[in-house]
Structure 1
Amino acid sequence: MQLGNTLGIPLLIFAAVLNTTLMPEFRLGNGAPDLVFMLVVSWALLADVRQGLFWAVVGGVLQDMLSVAPLGASALGLVLVAYGADATFGDVHRRNLIIPPLVAAVGTVLYHISLLIVLELDGIDIALGQALFYVTLPTVIYNSVLIVPIFRLLGVVHLWLQPRRVRLE
């Protein structure tokens, strides 16, 4: 197991617990910051696709274990977003301030739509328009703004985890 994955598990556990306990206190409308989503997207942009997908599966399962969503619903959405981000942009430099908010905005919408589809297939009736306006839109705003410091912080961690090249002279 790679060191980034080993570090990701406790970080994602902590983020999932914060998403369940503390983040609802910061609701704007019915949307709140999604720490697991921002960590997964940030790591998917910084690391290789395997690590990004690992973080997506682990983070999604942890979120579902702490929510009423069917197990795997969040993981499915996070995997789609992480893979899409990596396929579209590849590895992004840790100082980039444009791509992470863009991916957070588009990814939040795709993630929420995938969750709504899974919930609808599970028999939970949801008003799509209201969910997108009152939950997704505020969450897009939060995630697009807050991903910048999270991305920068994880960029430093990613740099620290990378093996250094040593040159003998």
Structure 2
Amino acid sequence: MQSLIIFIIIIVNFILQSTILQNLSILGVIPNTTLIIVVSIALLKGKRTGSIVGLGAGLLQDIIFSPTIGANAFVYFFIGYLIGLSEQKVYKESLFIPFIFTLITTLAYHGVYYVLMYFLGVNIRFHFFLRDTILIETLYNSILILPIYKWFSNIFTVPSIKFGRR
């Protein structure tokens, strides 16, 4: 059942990111909701699910939007895997953790994506890209993850009551 929910989230995110979110830009920058979803699911579900979600969402994004197939899938896969490694080691109820992880992974995503595009022969003027896009998107993603992560934690966290001896 959770696999179906994750699949629907990826598809709805893809539709929203390519339509409605284009109109919600701040200084010409739209949030990278795919990255937010990968970070959230990796934190909540672990490295296996996080990497699979990153790979699937990245491939979908590559097929439709990217000049090369596989660059986004590669980056999102490793972000999902690396964030998922910390699933058991972090306090999931804190909103500070996803905020910091999103801040770091947005910068890492753009850095790795730039290097991949450079080696694939796609010319991106990094200085202007950093100044005009990356810094604004980093703040935008880091703020936007707070309600999304809270919503996902309500969906994917099963409440448990522990009965035991004192």
TM beyond 0.5: yes
The Cα of 1:23 is off from its aligned counterpart by 1.8
Structure with more contact order per residue of length (Cα contacts < 8 Å, sep ≥ 6): 1
Unpaired segments of 5 or more residues in structure 1?
A: none
What TM-score comes out, normalization by structure 2 length? 0.87
The Cα of 1:93 is off from its aligned counterpart by 4.3
Q: Give the paired residue count.
A: 163
Cα deviation code 1:104-162 (max 9, x no counterpart): 000001111122122222221111111122111111011100101111111011124x8
Identity %: 23
CA RMSD of aligned residues (A): 2.1
CA contact (8 A) 2:39 2:50 kept: yes
CA contact (8 A) 1:38 1:143 kept: yes
Moved over 3 A (4+): 91-94, 164-167
Unpaired segments of 5 or more residues in structure 2?
A: none
* Match in the other structure for 1:120: 118
1:17 aligned to 2:45?
no
* Match in the other structure for 2:64: 66
Letter in 2 for 1:96: S
1:27 aligned to 2:25?
yes
* Match in the other structure for 2:76: 78
Give the distance between the partners of 1:142 and 1:69, measured in 2 at CA: 25
- Identify which of 80, 87, 112 aligns with 1:90: 87
Cα deviation code 1:33-81 (max 9, x no counterpart): 1111111100000112111111111111111122033121111111222
